[in-house]
């Protein structure tokens, strides 16, 4: 297990008083298998191409334009074209997940953490359920799933997305920890006093800012890192 820390204390000490554990989903609870994101991205383009009767080049332009303007492609489609979010999300996530490796040991490590465990994702609950099933992780170990619909389609890193989760959980931020693959999504949790853990990826966008003070720990082995917190790695 590779663990880097900006703090000169062990994970077990650093997280000793944490009783709310917030996990991102994609590229955090599992690494994207090669080609999976390309499949999802391609289905976004196909949905837009069919919806607007445009070619794939124009569909991609619209897709990226809405993503940059609204933080989520689906928000632009809802605003300008009356698309039902459920229809779009169901279509783009209808991909083969068999390349995701089962990891029941991760579920056991999460379950062993003291306190409440939740998921906060820019995806939707149906996708969360499919991924957890593929990973072999019982969804019941998570007390709540805060998805893009429950946050009113406010995506991370918007402060409003974290406000919704904070209100729902009634959290004391200084007793919470967040695990993410996108460095920018940990800026707001850090500001609020949470402990932060980055799962590094090869994605330039996700990696941007990974050297900042808002990143407390970096690990490429989430299961091992969680075991080091609970002392189960000894």
75 and 136 within one domain? no
Averaged pLDDT, 146-155:
94
128 has a pLDDT exceeding 50: yes
131 and 210 within one domain? yes
The domain boundary, picked from 69, 92, 115, lies at: 92
Total of domains in the chain: 2
| Pick from 194, 205, 199: nearest CA to 165 | 194
The domain containing residue 222 runs over which residues?
3-31+101-230
208 within 8 A of 183, measured Cβ to Cβ:
yes
For residue range 87-103, what is the model confidence (pLDDT) as tens digits?
Answer: 999 999 999 999 999 99
41 and 25 within one domain? no
CATH number, domain at 87?
A: 1.10.150.450
The pTM for the full model equals 0.90
Lowest mean pLDDT among 56-65, 67-76, 215-224: 67-76
204 has a pLDDT exceeding 50: no
- Across the beta sheet with 3-5, what order do the strands follow? 3-5, 217-219, 195-198, 176-180, 20-23, 116-120, 144-146
155 and 62 within one domain? no
150 and 51 within one domain? no
The label of the residue with tokens 């720990």 reads: 217
Q: Alpha helices of the chain — where are they, by DSSP H?
A: 11-14, 36-52, 56-70, 73-81, 85-92, 104-111, 125-135, 159-169, 187-191, 204-207, 222-230
The domain boundary, picked from 51, 66, 92, lies at: 92
Question: 3-class secondary structure for 189-214?
Answer: HHHCCCEEEECCCCCHHHHCCCCCCC
174 and 191 within one domain? yes
Lowest mean pLDDT among 18-22, 62-66, 161-165, 210-214: 210-214
Lowest mean pLDDT among 27-41, 80-94, 99-113, 121-135: 27-41
14 and 60 within one domain? no
56 has a pLDDT exceeding 50: yes
Structure tokens of 160? 């409003």
206 has a pLDDT exceeding 80: no
26 and 43 within one domain? no
**Confidence class of residue 208 from pLDDT cuts 50, 70 and 90?**
low
163 and 107 within one domain? yes
Structure tokens of 109? 């490590």
CATH number, domain at 168?
A: 3.40.50.1000
The Cα–Cα gap between 97 and 55 comes to 27
15 and 123 within one domain? yes
The domain boundary, picked from 92, 109, 134, lies at: 92
What is the pLDDT at residue 1? 42
Structure tokens of 171? 């959290």
The Cα–Cα gap between 6 and 46 comes to 43
194 and 136 within one domain? yes
The Cα–Cα gap between 148 and 144 comes to 13
**Confidence class of residue 35 from pLDDT cuts 50, 70 and 90?**
confident
113 and 175 within one domain? yes
């Amino acid at each position: 297990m590779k663990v880097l820390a900006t703090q000169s204390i062990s994970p077990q000490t650093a997280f000793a008083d944490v009783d709310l554990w917030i996990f991102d989903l994609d590229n955090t609870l599992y690494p994207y298998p090669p080609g999976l994101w390309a499949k999802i991205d391609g289905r976004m383009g196909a949905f837009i191409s069919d919806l607007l009767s445009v070619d794939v080049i124009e569909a991609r332009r619209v897709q990226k334009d809405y993503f940059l303007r609204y933080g989520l492609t689906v928000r632009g489609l809802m605003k300008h074209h009356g698309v039902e979010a459920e229809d779009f999300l169901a279509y783009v996530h209808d991909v083969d997940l068999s390349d995701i490796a089962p990891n029941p040991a991760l579920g056991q490590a999460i379950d062993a953490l003291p306190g409440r465990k939740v998921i906060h994702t820019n995806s939707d609950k149906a996708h969360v359920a499919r991924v957890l099933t593929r990973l072999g992780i019982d969804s019941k170990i998570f007390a709540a799933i805060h998805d893009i619909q429950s946050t009113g389609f406010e995506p991370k890193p918007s402060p409003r997305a974290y406000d919704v989760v904070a209100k729902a959980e009634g959290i004391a931020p200084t007793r919470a920890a967040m695990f993410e693959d996108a460095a920018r999504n940990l800026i707001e949790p850090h500001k609020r006093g949470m402990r932060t853990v980055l799962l590094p990826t090869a994605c330039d966008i996700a990696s941007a800012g990974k050297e900042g003070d808002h990143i407390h720990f970096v690990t490429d082995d989430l299961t091992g890192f969680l075991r080091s917190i609970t002392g189960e790695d000894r």
